[in-house]
Amino acid sequence: DPNTFAQLPLQVATEREIVRYLGNQARRSLGAVEDDQLDLTWNIALRTFPHPAAVAPSIVGGIAPGFLFAATMFSFVLVASNVVHERELQLRQGMESMGMLLSSYWTSWILWEGLMNVVSSGIITATGYLLGFSLFVKNSQALLFVVFFTFQNAMLAFALLISVFTKTSQGATSLSFGIFIIGWIFQSTVLFGFPYQPQYKSDVLRVIFNLLPWNPFTKAITDLGAATMTLPSDGDGFGITWRRRFAYCVPPSSSGIETLPQSSSSHSMLVDSPMETTNVGTGASAGHYTVGGCYLSVGEAIVWMSVMFFVFAFLAAYLDQIVPNSYGTRRPFYYFLMPNYWCARRSRVCQTSSSCCGGGGGGGEEGGGGK
């Protein structure tokens, strides 16, 4: 501590010599002999000046989202490239001609890559815990695992979606890296508190940001990092448990915080952030981490990323039918209302019964023949 190692001894020595000098002046005025070796007993006491509860900057909370985002984006790039590469090699068309249903095609991709996401999320969580990073040690490991898993699943579905609009695997790879760079830029914005701090009043803007999976992911990791900051009154950060994944984040309407000046980071610097000054004190007194004036808790981020997984997967399956393929064929936008879409091509009932597929044989199967 530079205060006790350098500043305080220098201050004590200066004050002692000033008193010695003034004492010798008084002795001279009284006709006494000056004593440069005057023995002065100098007792000091050090007390912390009263100040609002504050936290030190979280280095892990600041840099972890970028590195963890990069680690989880590898599968996104590979999935987008591989799906388009299958289409380039006509493998998918070959499987469709042998009777493969589109539901089976998309399900196989989601199940396999979902399993890989389980393994990847487990490795990231276990590695961080074994290395002793406070982000992984102090927070619930189950909560961290679910955050990584839901984010990777959302990006998996997003990769399937962008594969619909790309014709070559090289183009899919380039587009994926472009999205990675865009996500990195958005992360920098979220790390500075936009738009999740109370001074930003637009709920519509927050919803738009939540629709991009990397924004809820960054907010969740930032909150988890902030919860592990060292608290002066306790000597250790609290972390966020699975049970409190929603409760730690108190909205402005509930915490009484309506308008706050913008600080340099949503979870960063000391007393100059009123949000942190108020909330850390509340959390410390209650024995757990609490943030007032908070939008989008870790639990809500998990819900948003889970919803995005289903939304992107649905859009990928739907747009895959109505966007022209490499042969220029496509289905009408109302294709799912057509009877021949739901009747399997290989069904013998369709070939013999007049009541199936509108009274004729050989209707197209799910995912068969274009318009």
Quick: pLDDT tens for 249-296: 988 875 454 443 333 333 433 333 333 333 333 344 356 788 888 899
Q: Contact at 8 Å (CB) between 309 and 154?
A: yes
Residue type for position 214: W
The one-letter amino acid code at 34 reads E
Residue 335, CA distances (Å) to 123, 317, 332, 342, 343 in order: 42, 12, 5, 10, 12
- Indicate if the pLDDT at residue 162 is higher than 80: yes
How far is residue 324's CA from residue 166's CA, in Å, rounded to a whole number?
11
What pLDDT is attached to residue 28?
78
Distance, CA of 346 to CA of 97 (rounded, Å): 11
CA distance 340 to 358: 8
pLDDT at 315 over 50: yes
Q: Under a CB-based contact definition with an 8 Å cutoff, are residues 357 and 363 in contact?
A: yes
CA angle, residues 170, 171, 172, in degrees to nearest 5: 90
pLDDT tops 50 at residue 217: yes
**pLDDT score of 339:** 83
Provide, for the chain, the percentages of residues in helix, strand and coil under a 3-state DSSP scheme, each rounded to the nearest 5.
60, 0, 40
184-207 residue pLDDT tens? 899 888 888 889 988 888 889 999
- In this prediction, what percent of the chain has a pLDDT beyond 90? 36
Q: Which of 129-143, 163-177, 317-331, 342-356 has the lowest mean pLDDT?
A: 342-356
- Rounded to the nearest angstrom, the gap between the alpha carbon of residue 150 and the centroid of all alpha carbons in its chain is 10
Mean local confidence (pLDDT), 287-316: 92
Query: What is the residue whose two structure tokens read 């809820």?
Result: 216
Strands (E), 9-124: none
Least confident of 94-108, 134-148, 230-244, 321-335: 230-244
Structure tokens at 115: 């399993």
**pLDDT score recorded for residue 349:** 42
Euclidean distance between CA atoms 30 and 234, whole angstroms = 55
Q: Which range, 32-41, 151-160, 276-285, has the best average confidence (pLDDT)?
A: 151-160
Report whether 322 contacts 333 (CB < 8 A). yes
Rounded distance between C-alpha atoms, residue 131 and residue 255, angstroms: 36
Q: What is the structure's pLDDT at 6?
A: 81
Q: Exposure string (b/e) for 298-316, b if CB count within 10 Å is 16 or more?
A: bbbbbbbbbebbeebbeeb
Q: What is the CA radius of gyration of the chain?
A: 32
pLDDT bracket for residue 179 (50, 70, 90) = very high
* pTM, rounded to two decimals: 0.70
